[in-house]
Amino acid sequence: MLCAMKTPRIPFSIQQAVMRCLRNNLALACQRLERDYPEPKILWNQRGTAAGTAWPESNEIRLNPVLLLENQQAFIDEVVPHELAHLLVWHHFGRVAPHGKEWKWMMETILNVPARRTHRFAMDSLARKTFPYTCSCQRHQLTVRRHNRVVRGEAEYRCVHCGTQLKPDTHAK
């Protein structure tokens, strides 16, 4: 099992497969849309449970190395075109809804890939440390990021069921 704390190295053969997929889909889009779009930079530093993210302003795609290594072919077939479609939509239409009709059209009509908003990869290896909190009706587990925001006084969270503010569970072990 891969450690979620340390970024794993991506073998060169997998990097090549990702780049081949990216370039093939980009060439297809350029041909079908009769435009030249710049090749995005690929970064292998996406963390958390997101498989990837697109950053239009910097023309970057950030990929989750843990999920890539665990789901190589599905990741290449689905995630790379998904994130590329976001960049293509931004170049072609400007700022629109992230998974709106333009993105769906780009995925299905231009790239010939089913337009799924979220991945279906197992998350077991991404298990993260959580912090116990309580409300009036139950116990909650907050992520490190949310816990740190509470500690710094930047946020408070409420239970969706009872509406009371979540407080650190001081009795938890």
| β-bridge pairing 130-134 and 139-143 | antiparallel
* Residue ranges of E strands in the chain: 41-43, 52-55, 60-63, 130-134, 139-143, 167-168
Predicted model pTM: 0.72
- Is the pLDDT at 163 greater than 60? The verdict is yes
Does residue 148 sit in the same domain as residue 83? no
pLDDT value for 6? 59
Q: What is the pLDDT of residues 27-47, one digit of tens each?
A: 999 999 999 999 999 999 998
Is 83 labeled as catalytic in the residue annotation?
yes
Does residue 148 sit in the same domain as residue 76? no
Does residue 76 sit in the same domain as residue 147? no
What residue numbers bound the domain in which 161 lies? 129-168
Q: Which CATH number goes with the domain that contains 57?
A: 3.30.2010.10
Query: Is position 3 within any domain?
Result: no
Under the banding of pLDDT at 50, 70 and 90, the label for residue 173 is low
Which one from 34, 39, 78, 83 is the annotated catalytic residue?
Answer: 83
Under the banding of pLDDT at 50, 70 and 90, the label for residue 5 is very low
CA-wise closest residue to 40 among 72, 3, 83: 83
pLDDT value for 49? 81
Query: Is position 147 within any domain?
Result: yes
pLDDT value for 131? 86
